[in-house]
Amino acid sequence: MSKTAAEIRQEFIDFFKERAHSYVPSSPVVPHDDPTLLFTNAGMNQFKDVFLGTGTRPYARAANSQKCIRAGGKHNDLDDVGHDTYHHTFFEMLGNWSFGDYFKRDAIAWAWELLTERWGLDPSRLHATYFGGDPTQGLEPDLEARDLWKELTGLPDEQIHPGDATDNFWEMGESGPCGPCSEIHIDLTADKTGARLVNAGSDQVIEIWNLVFIQFNRRPDKTLDPLPAKHVDTGMGFERIAAVIQGKRSNYDTDVFTPLFAEIQQVTGAPAYTGSLESGSGTASEQEMVDISYRVIADHIRTLTFALSDGAYPDKDGRGYVLRRILRRAVRYGWQYLRMHEPFLYKLVPAVVKTMGAAFPELRAKLGRVIEVVEQEERSFSKTLGRGIALFEEAADVARTQHHNEIRGEDAFKLHDTYGFPIDLTQIMAEERELRVDLGEYERLMEEARERARHGGAVQVSGFAALQADLVTPFGPTDDSQKYETREVDGTVRAMVLLDQTGGIVIRDDDQPILPGHDAGLIVDRTSFYGEQGGQVGDKGVIGGDGIRFDVERTRRFGDTVVHFGTLVQGEIRVGQTIRMTVDEHREVTKQNHTATHLLNWALRETLGNHIEQRGSLVDSERTRFDFSHPMAVSVDEIAKIESLVHAEIQKAAPVYAQDAPQQDAMKINGLRAVFGEKYPERVRVVSIGAAVDELLANPEKPEWRRHSIEFCGGTHVTNTEEIGHFAITVEEAVAKGIRRIVGVTGGAAQLMEQIGEALVQQAESLKGVTPEEAADGIQAVQGAIQQSDVPLRHRARIQEAIAAVQRTLKQARKADAQDAVELVKTRLDALLDEPPVINGTSVIVAEMPNVPAEQLKHGADIIKQKRESAAILFGVHVPAEDEDGGSGKVVLLAAMTDDLIRRGVKAGDLVKHVAPIVKGGGGGPPTMAQAGGKEPEKLVEALEAGLSWISERL
């Protein structure tokens, strides 16, 4: 009986423990302490500091099996997984290391002993490589390693091969530790004639172990110095050696994967795994796609289980986005090829833990968390997956008929942006249909989206992010009470926060000035600036004086100390200097938005119920954003009621009161709202709209106070609700389970958005009765305008209702057109089937068809195939141009073959590929039915004649 994978892993570790190696547990696959890596991708990662000379270990020899992920970044095997027998995103790396202890002789001798004596591999099948030198880099060949292979193993010269720097010289980076490496390959050819295939990328001769000899240090000028202490770093792919020892030609046939395959079949009910690979002759068969899906899903659930167990989490960027891509790739294969239209991946996690938990016990501890996260991600993606696949199919049809087999960049972007399809998933789906993706246009649209996101994000002052309160509070509290009364006040500079040449923070309170062009944070004794706190952004403005201008870009509060970050534009500033603090006019709009936030919070409770709790907010001069607890989306009718309540309070011109009070007394006020989980000081600031704080404190239990907005708040507010002017809700969305978000605008911005929304409603309603082409263009224009502006939600709903009415009308018109097309095709088919040409028992139908949609052509071809046991079909259609600039129009070609012809090698895809170039077009498709497009309808007759000749020759 062959060894199990678990036995192979343990035997490797035991072999080196017997040779005085310390067993070192695998480091996490998520390298939390190494920002240069997305994932741990090699066993040496946790020993990088030793190789760099910046760290040590209490041992000189080590061995382990390291958890690794290669997906994203420089080392990325994701695209290959599933399509061959040996690529994985998650794998184990068996390794042994020497830190200045043994070197080449022992490394080579022990590797040979383990492979041939302990594991019994045939020496005549093993090949060794060594570094053959590189004169361009001044590197000598590693003749020492070559000679040791001869001496220690008895390998003949024909089994020892020199290699170039790409394969046989290892470097950690542009500079630093490096050295030659020596690989061991196994020849899997039937007659052991694979010597010529070493390092040739063949699955007949594969690398199983790499021995790296770290003996040089590369300087920045590219010269090499010998290292005083030489190291050994080896790595052997666990899944690959398991396949070799178990006599399998595929890693996926080992017991590393077979339990997962059994669980996949049990969970999904899919056909059994057969191990088939793509034949390379065009579109893969159904069973081939099923087998690819098994490999993808098994690999990806291993990656997800290990990464999530080690603290990673699916997200929108970085390693989190890589994991999200991996999960969605697996879900898509399950959806399309295993017919799993409900979450299933999370059900496979226990099988991974059962298989791997003994070797990696941390998996067992995190089982529940991993299942929960995977299921949540699956359910989220499943909501859009079906619609996304439908959109892809539409995009693929457009690519075949109009875009030379290229998916448009705008379609790829929409799949990503709206339906959550990572671009590599779209590329895979395109390749399955022999299509490509316009990546240039996709990247352009992505960069536009990133630019919009950048401008929409919060302002950051670079370099000062590490500033902590304990560094600034020694310079005393800042009197910022004037922030509620005025935008301008004089103050005295107490200290300046600066950055040194290394980017470190320095705080100065000496008499040395800062000069123009310098970034700094100013600490003053008093200010009118609001320091970022409680959801309200910090103020911007100008600090001035005699010949001085300091532009404040951000104001932050550290305890009771306020720091003004910005850039000195003119003059000099010293500690002790008196300066004039002036907040810019955007503060006034921020005040409007903040008071509107309080009214929104009150109106939400009035409309949705007292369960509403604030979960976060962001108030600036552009909008108010409010997060709150609520189990479901807020309906359009509820949005309208909330807006109406806020508007009523604005129209009342209610006074806004703010007053400090003892927390103990303030907490007794009936209807007061505080942020859940927030810790408040002994004295709090009470902000009340429409009821004086003195009255609230004097009679805290009065029932009528519940009809007012009363909150603890340290922010700036208007003095009267009339100053808000107007209010409109532009966004309502989920941010987490049970947490909703509303975004609103006030004043002139709200009025402008209302006007734009009303104009778009009228524009959408005006599309009733126009031509289908005009309606389609009009709908696209309206939807584009919505995306470009913050149209209020109430108007969005009215716009969508108007568009839906227009689309219903168009659908009815298309239905009528389709019925007409059916009749046209039927009439034409009756004539064609009357007495069609027959060649050796096959009816040959080659004809120009009326201008009908491609679906009707396909339906016509199916009718012929049903009526004729053997038929070869080629239809051509001249589609006139829609306008005068469109030239003579375009061509649509459709070919179809009955099954008997396909068995004889006569395929529809081959036929359209042959004739499409005649009309300056291209296309393709499966053997049964294929489609193409073209630009020169004047050559349609010539193309049909060529098609007839092509069919005749093959029959």
- Identify the pLDDT of residue 462: 43
Rounded Cα distance, 194 and 177, in Å: 33
Instruction: Give 778-812 as a 3 state SS string.
Output: HHHHHHHHHHHCCCCHHHHHHHHHHHHHHHHHHHH
Structure confidence at residue 455 (pLDDT): 45
Contact 348, 264 (CB under 8 A): yes
What stretches of 18-161 show up as alpha helix (H) in DSSP? Answer: 48-52, 104-112, 143-153
Q: Which of 36-45, 89-98, 302-311, 605-614 has the lowest mean pLDDT?
A: 36-45
Lowest mean pLDDT among 179-188, 909-918, 923-932: 923-932
Tell me, what's the pLDDT at 15?
95
pLDDT for residue 884 = 58
- Reply yes or no on whether the pLDDT at 523 is more than 50: yes
3-state secondary structure of 736: strand
Condensed to tens digits (0 to 9), the pLDDT of residues 236-291 reads: 999 999 999 999 989 999 999 999 999 999 999 999 999 998 766 556 788 999 99
pLDDT of residue 483: 93
Q: What pLDDT is recorded for position 330?
A: 93
What percent of the chain lies above the pLDDT cut of 90?
A: 51
Q: pLDDT: is 77 or 745 the higher one?
A: 745
Mean pLDDT over each residue of the chain, to the nearest integer: 88
User: What is the per-residue pLDDT for 460?
Assistant: 35
The confidence band for 461, taking pLDDT boundaries of 50, 70 and 90, is very low
117 DSSP 8-state letter? I
- Residue 801 burial (C-beta neighbours within 10 Å; 0-12, 13-18, 19+): middle
Residue 463 has pLDDT above 60, yes or no: no
Determine which helix (DSSP H) or strand (DSSP E) holds 207, and give its type and residue range: strand 205-218
Distance of alpha carbon 289 from the chain centroid: 24
Predicted pLDDT at 71: 82
Tens of pLDDT, residue by residue over 708-748, are: 999 999 999 999 999 999 999 999 988 777 789 999 999 99
pLDDT of 557 above 50: yes
Residue-wise pLDDT for 472-495, tens only, equals 888 889 999 999 999 999 999 999
- At residue 457, does pLDDT exceed 90? no
User: Would you say 177 and 227 are in contact if contact means Cβ atoms under 8 Å apart?
Assistant: yes
Q: pLDDT tens digit string along 208-223? A: 999 999 998 887 777 8
For residue 350, is pLDDT > 50? yes
d(CA 802, CA 791): 15
Q: How far is CA 530 from CA 317, 427, 479, 573, in A?
A: 32, 50, 11, 21
pLDDT digits (tens, 9 = 90+) for 488-519: 999 999 999 988 766 678 888 888 888 888 88
pLDDT in tens, 871-885: 999 999 998 876 655
**pLDDT higher than 70, residue 641:** yes
Tokens standing for residue 610 = 């007292």
pLDDT at 910: 93
CA distances to 157, 309, 668, 850 from 832, rounded to whole Å, are: 72, 65, 89, 13
What would the two tokens of residue 118 be? 């302990």
pLDDT in tens, 849-901: 988 888 888 888 988 998 899 999 999 999 887 665 557 789 999 999 999 99
Cα–Cα distances in Å, from 28 out to 31, 63, 309, 311, 360? Answer: 6, 16, 9, 9, 10
* CA–CA separation, 694 and 697 (whole Å): 5
Q: 740 - beta bridge partners? A: 628, 734
Range 567-590 average pLDDT? 92
User: What pLDDT, on the 0 to 100 scale, is given for residue 446?
Assistant: 81
For the chain, percent of residues with pLDDT exceeding 70: 94
